Amino acid sequence: MQLALLCAVCLLPGGLALPLPLEAGGMSEPQWKQAQDYLERFYPYDSKTRDVNSIEAKLKEMQKFFHLPITGMLNSRIIEIMQKPRCGMPDVAEYSLFPNSPKWTSKVVTYRILSYTRDLSPLRVNQLVAKAFEMWKKEIPLHFKRIHRGIADIMIGFARGAHGDSYPFDGPGNILAHAFAPGPGLGGDTHFDEDERWSDGSSIGINLLYAATHELGHSLGLGHSSDPNAVMYPTYEDKDSEDFKLSQDDIEGIQKLYGERGD
Protein backbone atom coordinates (compact mmCIF):
# COMPACT_ATOMS: atom_id res chain seq x y z
CA MET A 1 0.00 0.00 0.00
CA GLN A 2 1.35 3.30 -0.94
CA LEU A 3 0.65 5.64 1.16
CA ALA A 4 7.73 16.00 1.77
CA LEU A 5 14.28 25.25 3.52
CA LEU A 6 16.71 26.76 3.34
CA CYS A 7 19.33 26.88 5.96
CA ALA A 8 22.73 28.22 6.53
CA VAL A 9 25.25 27.76 9.25
CA CYS A 10 24.10 31.06 10.64
CA LEU A 11 20.75 29.50 11.51
CA LEU A 12 22.21 26.83 13.73
CA PRO A 13 22.05 28.07 17.28
CA GLY A 14 24.23 25.96 19.53
CA GLY A 15 24.94 23.41 16.78
CA LEU A 16 24.49 19.80 17.70
CA ALA A 17 26.56 18.24 14.96
CA LEU A 18 26.87 14.54 15.55
CA PRO A 19 27.91 11.86 13.14
CA LEU A 20 24.76 9.80 13.27
CA PRO A 21 25.77 6.24 13.93
CA LEU A 22 27.87 7.40 16.85
CA GLU A 23 26.81 7.95 20.40
CA ALA A 24 24.10 10.41 21.21
CA GLY A 25 26.45 12.94 22.77
CA GLY A 26 24.49 16.04 23.74
CA MET A 27 21.17 14.52 22.79
CA SER A 28 18.92 12.93 25.33
CA GLU A 29 17.96 9.33 24.83
CA PRO A 30 14.34 10.19 23.89
CA GLN A 31 15.53 12.76 21.32
CA TRP A 32 17.83 10.21 19.80
CA LYS A 33 15.08 7.63 19.64
CA GLN A 34 12.73 10.22 18.16
CA ALA A 35 15.20 11.06 15.38
CA GLN A 36 15.64 7.39 14.53
CA ASP A 37 11.90 6.76 14.52
CA TYR A 38 11.32 9.77 12.31
CA LEU A 39 13.88 8.64 9.75
CA GLU A 40 12.58 5.10 9.70
CA ARG A 41 9.03 6.26 9.28
CA PHE A 42 9.41 8.98 6.65
CA TYR A 43 12.43 7.65 4.77
CA PRO A 44 11.45 3.97 4.66
CA TYR A 45 13.95 2.96 2.04
CA ASP A 46 16.50 4.40 -0.28
CA SER A 47 16.55 2.61 -3.60
CA LYS A 48 19.64 4.39 -4.82
CA THR A 49 22.11 3.16 -2.26
CA ARG A 50 22.82 -0.33 -1.06
CA ASP A 51 22.92 0.42 2.64
CA VAL A 52 19.16 0.76 2.70
CA ASN A 53 18.86 0.49 6.42
CA SER A 54 21.60 2.85 7.38
CA ILE A 55 20.33 5.69 9.53
CA GLU A 56 23.02 7.89 8.04
CA ALA A 57 21.76 7.20 4.52
CA LYS A 58 18.23 8.04 5.60
CA LEU A 59 19.42 11.26 7.20
CA LYS A 60 21.15 12.21 3.94
CA GLU A 61 17.91 11.53 2.07
CA MET A 62 16.09 13.80 4.48
CA GLN A 63 18.72 16.57 4.13
CA LYS A 64 18.47 16.29 0.37
CA PHE A 65 14.71 16.47 0.48
CA PHE A 66 14.75 19.61 2.65
CA HIS A 67 17.55 21.23 0.64
CA LEU A 68 19.95 21.18 3.57
CA PRO A 69 23.67 20.51 3.33
CA ILE A 70 24.03 16.74 2.92
CA THR A 71 26.31 15.87 5.80
CA GLY A 72 24.75 12.74 7.29
CA MET A 73 25.04 14.53 10.64
CA LEU A 74 22.24 15.52 12.97
CA ASN A 75 22.06 19.18 13.77
CA SER A 76 19.58 21.52 15.39
CA ARG A 77 17.99 22.52 12.05
CA ILE A 78 17.10 18.95 11.18
CA ILE A 79 15.79 18.31 14.69
CA GLU A 80 13.63 21.42 14.39
CA ILE A 81 12.08 20.03 11.19
CA MET A 82 11.55 16.67 12.85
CA GLN A 83 9.54 18.34 15.60
CA LYS A 84 7.07 20.10 13.28
CA PRO A 85 3.58 18.70 12.90
CA ARG A 86 3.28 17.01 9.55
CA CYS A 87 1.57 14.64 7.18
CA GLY A 88 2.02 10.93 7.88
CA MET A 89 3.19 10.00 4.38
CA PRO A 90 6.86 9.39 3.61
CA ASP A 91 9.16 11.88 1.83
CA VAL A 92 11.03 9.53 -0.44
CA ALA A 93 11.75 11.44 -3.61
CA GLU A 94 10.15 8.76 -5.76
CA TYR A 95 6.82 9.61 -4.20
CA SER A 96 6.62 12.98 -5.95
CA LEU A 97 4.37 10.95 -8.06
CA PHE A 98 3.84 7.57 -6.47
CA PRO A 99 5.61 4.56 -8.02
CA ASN A 100 3.85 3.68 -11.29
CA SER A 101 2.00 7.03 -11.13
CA PRO A 102 -1.42 5.70 -10.03
CA LYS A 103 -4.27 8.01 -10.93
CA TRP A 104 -8.03 7.99 -11.37
CA THR A 105 -9.01 7.02 -14.85
CA SER A 106 -12.68 7.96 -14.63
CA LYS A 107 -13.58 11.61 -15.27
CA VAL A 108 -15.89 11.65 -12.26
CA VAL A 109 -14.35 10.73 -8.93
CA THR A 110 -16.71 10.15 -5.99
CA TYR A 111 -16.11 10.97 -2.36
CA ARG A 112 -17.96 10.36 0.86
CA ILE A 113 -17.44 11.87 4.28
CA LEU A 114 -17.86 9.00 6.73
CA SER A 115 -17.14 10.66 10.03
CA TYR A 116 -16.66 14.14 11.42
CA THR A 117 -14.57 16.02 13.93
CA ARG A 118 -16.13 17.37 17.07
CA ASP A 119 -14.23 20.63 16.56
CA LEU A 120 -16.34 21.95 13.68
CA SER A 121 -19.93 21.57 12.55
CA PRO A 122 -20.52 18.86 9.92
CA LEU A 123 -21.78 21.57 7.59
CA ARG A 124 -18.50 23.45 7.93
CA VAL A 125 -16.49 20.27 7.34
CA ASN A 126 -18.55 19.54 4.21
CA GLN A 127 -17.85 23.08 2.94
CA LEU A 128 -14.11 22.89 3.61
CA VAL A 129 -13.74 19.49 2.00
CA ALA A 130 -15.68 20.68 -1.06
CA LYS A 131 -13.43 23.74 -1.21
CA ALA A 132 -10.32 21.58 -1.03
CA PHE A 133 -11.56 19.50 -3.96
CA GLU A 134 -12.31 22.75 -5.81
CA MET A 135 -8.65 23.82 -5.46
CA TRP A 136 -7.57 20.83 -7.49
CA LYS A 137 -10.56 20.72 -9.78
CA LYS A 138 -9.77 24.19 -11.15
CA GLU A 139 -6.57 22.85 -12.64
CA ILE A 140 -7.50 19.45 -14.06
CA PRO A 141 -10.26 17.86 -16.16
CA LEU A 142 -11.82 15.87 -13.30
CA HIS A 143 -15.14 16.22 -11.52
CA PHE A 144 -15.76 15.34 -7.90
CA LYS A 145 -19.12 14.08 -6.76
CA ARG A 146 -20.07 13.68 -3.14
CA ILE A 147 -22.15 10.61 -2.32
CA HIS A 148 -23.90 9.84 0.97
CA ARG A 149 -23.97 6.05 0.99
CA GLY A 150 -22.05 3.12 -0.41
CA ILE A 151 -18.43 3.04 -1.35
CA ALA A 152 -16.86 6.12 -2.85
CA ASP A 153 -13.49 6.33 -4.55
CA ILE A 154 -12.29 8.65 -1.79
CA MET A 155 -13.62 7.82 1.68
CA ILE A 156 -12.89 10.62 4.13
CA GLY A 157 -13.03 10.51 7.91
CA PHE A 158 -11.69 11.56 11.28
CA ALA A 159 -10.33 8.93 13.62
CA ARG A 160 -7.96 8.62 16.54
CA GLY A 161 -5.30 6.03 17.31
CA ALA A 162 -5.61 2.71 15.51
CA HIS A 163 -8.44 3.05 13.00
CA GLY A 164 -8.46 0.03 10.73
CA ASP A 165 -5.48 0.57 8.47
CA SER A 166 -1.88 -0.19 9.31
CA TYR A 167 -1.08 3.40 10.20
CA PRO A 168 -2.41 4.25 13.66
CA PHE A 169 -2.51 7.91 14.59
CA ASP A 170 -0.32 9.17 17.39
CA GLY A 171 -2.34 11.44 19.66
CA PRO A 172 -2.15 15.24 19.60
CA GLY A 173 0.57 16.76 17.40
CA ASN A 174 3.13 15.16 15.09
CA ILE A 175 1.13 13.25 12.48
CA LEU A 176 -1.97 15.20 11.49
CA ALA A 177 -3.44 13.16 8.66
CA HIS A 178 -2.63 10.73 5.88
CA ALA A 179 -4.09 9.61 2.58
CA PHE A 180 -3.65 6.77 0.16
CA ALA A 181 -2.73 7.00 -3.51
CA PRO A 182 -5.45 6.32 -6.11
CA GLY A 183 -6.54 2.69 -6.31
CA PRO A 184 -9.20 0.23 -5.11
CA GLY A 185 -9.98 -0.41 -1.44
CA LEU A 186 -8.12 2.00 0.78
CA GLY A 187 -6.81 3.73 -2.34
CA GLY A 188 -7.66 7.45 -2.32
CA ASP A 189 -8.96 7.34 1.25
CA THR A 190 -8.11 10.26 3.52
CA HIS A 191 -7.94 10.15 7.32
CA PHE A 192 -7.56 13.05 9.75
CA ASP A 193 -6.30 12.58 13.30
CA GLU A 194 -9.22 13.40 15.59
CA ASP A 195 -6.75 14.00 18.41
CA GLU A 196 -5.79 17.26 16.66
CA ARG A 197 -7.73 20.43 17.18
CA TRP A 198 -9.24 21.23 13.78
CA SER A 199 -10.06 24.77 12.75
CA ASP A 200 -11.71 26.59 9.87
CA GLY A 201 -9.25 29.44 10.34
CA SER A 202 -11.46 31.34 12.77
CA SER A 203 -9.95 29.78 15.87
CA ILE A 204 -6.73 28.18 17.08
CA GLY A 205 -5.97 24.80 15.58
CA ILE A 206 -4.88 23.03 12.45
CA ASN A 207 -6.39 24.60 9.34
CA LEU A 208 -8.61 21.85 7.95
CA LEU A 209 -8.91 23.40 4.50
CA TYR A 210 -5.15 23.43 4.15
CA ALA A 211 -4.69 19.92 5.50
CA ALA A 212 -7.52 18.58 3.34
CA THR A 213 -6.09 20.18 0.21
CA HIS A 214 -2.74 18.55 0.97
CA GLU A 215 -4.21 15.13 1.69
CA LEU A 216 -6.48 15.19 -1.35
CA GLY A 217 -3.33 15.89 -3.38
CA HIS A 218 -2.21 12.43 -2.25
CA SER A 219 -5.67 10.98 -2.97
CA LEU A 220 -5.26 12.23 -6.53
CA GLY A 221 -1.77 10.82 -6.94
CA LEU A 222 0.71 13.45 -5.79
CA GLY A 223 3.51 12.66 -3.38
CA HIS A 224 5.38 15.21 -1.30
CA SER A 225 7.14 18.19 -2.79
CA SER A 226 10.39 19.59 -1.43
CA ASP A 227 9.30 23.07 -2.57
CA PRO A 228 8.49 24.93 0.70
CA ASN A 229 5.80 26.95 -1.11
CA ALA A 230 3.95 23.88 -2.26
CA VAL A 231 0.79 22.69 -0.56
CA MET A 232 2.37 19.24 -0.99
CA TYR A 233 5.29 20.16 1.30
CA PRO A 234 5.22 17.59 4.12
CA THR A 235 5.32 19.78 7.23
CA TYR A 236 2.43 21.87 8.39
CA GLU A 237 3.04 25.59 8.68
CA ASP A 238 0.47 27.81 10.37
CA LYS A 239 -2.01 28.99 7.81
CA ASP A 240 -4.27 31.57 9.38
CA SER A 241 -5.97 32.44 6.14
CA GLU A 242 -8.29 30.56 3.85
CA ASP A 243 -6.85 32.40 0.92
CA PHE A 244 -3.91 30.20 0.17
CA LYS A 245 -3.50 28.91 -3.35
CA LEU A 246 -1.89 25.94 -4.94
CA SER A 247 1.68 26.75 -5.85
CA GLN A 248 2.99 26.50 -9.39
CA ASP A 249 4.76 23.33 -8.29
CA ASP A 250 1.47 21.73 -7.14
CA ILE A 251 -0.21 22.70 -10.40
CA GLU A 252 2.58 21.31 -12.53
CA GLY A 253 2.49 18.05 -10.56
CA ILE A 254 -1.25 17.50 -10.84
CA GLN A 255 -1.33 18.48 -14.51
CA LYS A 256 1.46 16.02 -15.20
CA LEU A 257 -1.00 13.34 -14.10
CA TYR A 258 -4.26 14.59 -15.53
CA GLY A 259 -3.52 17.30 -18.06
CA GLU A 260 -5.02 20.77 -18.06
CA ARG A 261 -8.63 21.68 -17.64
CA GLY A 262 -10.18 22.11 -21.06
CA ASP A 263 -12.57 24.98 -20.42
Which residues contact Ca ion (rule: CB under 5 A)?
170, 174-175, 193
DSSP 8-state assignment for residue 97: B
177 binding partner (options Zn ion, Ca ion, none; Cβ < 5 to 8 Å by kind): none
Based on the number of CB atoms within 10 Å of its own CB, is 32 exposed (0-12), middle (13-18) or buried (19 or more)? middle
- What does 89 bind: Ca ion, Zn ion, none (CB cut-off 5 to 8 Å by kind)? Zn ion
For position 89 contacting Zn ion by CB under 5 A, the verdict is yes
C-alpha 252/C-alpha 92 separation (Å) is 19
**Is 163 a known ligand-binding residue?**
yes
Residue 189 annotated as binding site:
yes
Q: In the complex, what is the shortest distance from the CB of residue 261 to Zn ion, in angstroms, rounded to a whole number?
A: 24
**Angle (nearest 5°) at CA 29 between 26 and 33:** 115
What letter does residue 154 receive in the DSSP assignment? E
| Cβ count near 29 (within 10 Å) | 8
Judged by beta carbon, residue 63 or residue 174, the one nearer Ca ion is 174
Active site residues: 215
Among 20, 62, 68, 87, binds Zn ion (CB under 5 A): 87
Element containing residue 199 per DSSP (H, E): strand 198-199
87 binds, among Zn ion, Ca ion, none (CB under 5 to 8 A by kind): Zn ion
Cβ contact 5:228 at 8 Å: yes
SS3 222: strand
What residue 170 binds from Ca ion, Zn ion, none (CB within 5 to 8 A, per partner kind)?
Answer: Ca ion
Specify binding-site residues for Ca(2+).
119, 153, 170-171, 187, 189, 193, 196
Site residues (vs Zn ion, CB under 5 A): 87, 89, 165, 191
Specify binding-site residues for Zn(2+).
87, 163, 165, 178, 191, 214, 218, 224, 232
